[in-house]
Every structure is written in C-alpha cells, then in structure tokens.
Structure 1
Amino acid sequence: MSRDVSTDVLERLHVSRESRERLETYVSLLLQWQARINLIGPATREAVWTRHIADALQLLSLLPPDLRKLADLGSGAGIPGLILAIARPLEAHLFESNLKKGAFLREAARQTGAKAHIHTIRIEEAQALARTIKAEAVTARALAPLPKLLDYAAPFLENGAIGYFHKGQDVDAELTDATKSWKMQVESHPSMTDSHGVILVVKEAHRVLC
C-alpha cells in the first residue's frame, strides 16, 4: 500500500502526525511478521491501510473522548484494540490465546509505545481479570456470532463496559438470536470500510433470566 493511500486514510480519520508515524511503524512490523505467521488474510496484505487500519480507526468517533481502558477480545494482530491504543492515549488489554500472535502484539506495543497489556489466555479465563481491569469498553472483530460474542464479553459488559463490535451482513439474524438471552441497548452504525458491515454499540447489557 502506497504512502499516499496511508496518508489519505489517516487524514480522513483525523489522526495526528505523531500517531501516523506510530501506525506506520505498526504496519511495517505487521508485514514483516506476516511472512512468518498468519496475522491477516493474505489477500488483504496490499489493502492493509483500508481493510485493517481504517477498519479499526473508525471506532475513534464512537468511543467516549475520556475513555481510559478497553479490552480487546480475540485480538489477533491487535485489530482494533492495539490500533486504538496507538492512535489514542488509552490503556488496552489484548486477549489472544495464540502464543505467536501474543509475541507479535508485545513487540508491536513495544515498538509503537502503545500502552497495551497482552494476556495470552483463553477468553473464557478472563472473568477474574475483568474485575481488576475495569475496562470501560470491550471490542472484537470477526470473533464469533453475536450471541457467543456476548457470552465472551459478559465479564466486561456486566461490569459496565460498552461493547463495540464489528459485524457483517448477518447482523439482523444475530441480533434476533442474541435478544433471546440478553437485554441491551443497541446502536448500529454503518461501517466505513465494508458496505455490508456495521459497528454495533452495545450498552447496558444484562442476561435475561430464564
């Protein structure tokens, strides 16, 4: 991806010059590691700025301006959690059970100076940490259908976090299934990078008692 395209993406999303440099460091490292481990879909390598960086950064306009902590589930290459911590001065807790991907996240956080904590554990083991972290937001991209995703995010949502979830064209069916087990306020925002996608903002989520 050319520097002109990366600059255009970052200018449209109002990213500061300092953050742009750090994001360029991240992308360079991502592409180096991609040769050894599968961090992003190989077919998206040439469109990394639009398919991945912009996809993460579009959350910036939805997050509260005073957000301090977020939890990112199934973080993978750190999209969106690490990208957000590079672009804004917030503390990100990244949950990724794959040890190789965890190693990448640690190196990327080190080289970019992002305030990120990497937890190489299964998401199901995050409940105790959720009480300690006290994240105000929880994010996930391409992790699971919404009912299962809410189960994963439950330790954070039930402690008051707001969910910011990238979802695709099946979102309506997923919402119908999710409301059988969850009571929540949901906002849907069209994705800037996927004509069939949305960002779901989930607030005041509580399980429905059967």
Structure 2
Amino acid sequence: MKPEEWRAVDVSRETQVRLEAYVQALLKWSQTINLVAKSTHSDIWNRHILDSAQLFTHAPPKFRRWCDMGSGGGLPGMVVAILSKEQNPDASFTLIESDARKAAFLATISRDLDLPVTVRRARLEEADPANADIVSARALAPLPLLLSYCHRHMAAGGIALLPKGRNHAQEVEAAQQSWHFDYVTRPSQADPDSTILIVRDLRPLDI
C-alpha cells in the first residue's frame, strides 16, 4: 500500500497530511533508533499504518480515553490519535513507553502534529493506572502477561484491542488459566495470518 492508495480510505485531507508527516518522521528517526524494522520500510503503509488504523474501526463511538501500552514508535497509539483528532475530538490518548529515546520521539511528533497525546516514560507495571476506556498493545508480550497490563490500565467496562498472530488461540488458552475475560476475534486487514482480539470483562480468576 502506498500513500496515494491510503487516500481511498475514508479520511480527510487534513488527516492524510498528518499521517504522511508521521510516516516521514517515523522513517527519519528510525535511522538512529529502532522504531520500525528496516525490512518493513518499503511497505510501511500496510505493515504499520493500516495495521494500526484498523483498531480504530473497532473502538466504541465517542470513547474518551485510550491508552497505548509499550507504544514504541507510536504504533498503534499515534496512528489512532491522528484518526481520532477529527472523528472524535474530545478523546485523549496516553502512550506509555519506557525507552527514553522512543518516548522523546512520541513527545516530539505529538507536539508537531498538535495531538491530544500524553507520553509517559515508565514501565507498564509501574506507571500510574491510565483508567482508559480502550487499551491497546502491538507486538508487546504473550497474552497472559499482556492481560496483566491491560487490567492495570483499563477502566471498569473498558475494552482491550490486541493484534495477535497465528498462535492467538494457544495464547488465549494459556491466558484463561489465570484470567477471566470475554473476547471476540476479528480478521486483520493487513495480514491474513493475524487476528485482532477484542477483550472485555477482564479480571483475575481469583476475584
């Protein structure tokens, strides 16, 4: 997918300009810090932007707070913040990232693009709970551990949007040994081997 093909997706010209500026910054900073793998640069619109943007289509309308955990280069958090700026302007975003250089990138690009983003440089298990309506994480941790982060940062009644690979069924089975949760799966638009888990009603089994 190229930028001109992305324009066929239902976004405004202003949103498209922000996405393109973000991609250019992501590629530029990736020359010195590891934000996205070099092997994916030529397919960045499909591998990273579409893969992140599709989560926004599964978000409840008029959500107020979104927390992206282990945000790295802002995938998916920065992408959904860009999409939300016009479509859900009252929403705010918290991006939690422990790496100082990656956090600096996130703070810089959110300021440059005038996005309602707060960057927290902290470990997920140590950061103050985000109390978010939606939590997300991409390529962060196996599901049993990932759900512990979700539980810390998700508000009561919130949901988690979690892209997972072809082994998602095994991860769900492992997570069910220590967590209660309801979930549905949705196919990825970017990768036929991937799935989006939509998790609700998350709580430890001993509660």
1:28-107 aligned at under 5 Å gives the runs 28-89=24-85, 90-107=91-108
TM-score by length of 2: 0.93
Give the match's secondary structure for 2:140: coil
Give the match's secondary structure for 2:200: strand
Identical residues among aligned pairs (%): 37
Tell whether 2:170 aligns with 1:173.
yes
Give the match's secondary structure for 1:141: coil
1:100-139 aligned at under 5 Å gives the runs 100-126=101-127, 129-130=128-129, 133-139=130-136
1:142 paired residue number: 139
In structure 2, the gaps of 5 or more residues are 86-90
From 184, 187, 201, the equivalent of 1:204 is: 201
Checking the alignment, whether the CA contact within 8 Å between 1:189 and 1:199 is kept in structure 2 is: yes
Instruction: Give the whole-Å Cα distance in 2 for the aligned partners of 1:201 and 1:175.
Output: 12
CA RMSD of aligned residues (A): 1.4
Provide the aligned length of Structure 1 versus Structure 2.
Answer: 202
Tell whether 2:16 aligns with 1:20.
yes
Cα offset for 1:31? Answer: 1.0
Cα offset for 1:158? Answer: 5.8
Structure having the higher helix fraction is 1
For residue 139 of structure 2, what is the amino acid of its counterpart? A
Instruction: Give the whole-Å Cα distance in 1 for the aligned partners of 2:4 and 2:55.
Output: 18
Checking the alignment, whether the CA contact within 8 Å between 2:131 and 2:154 is kept in structure 1 is: no
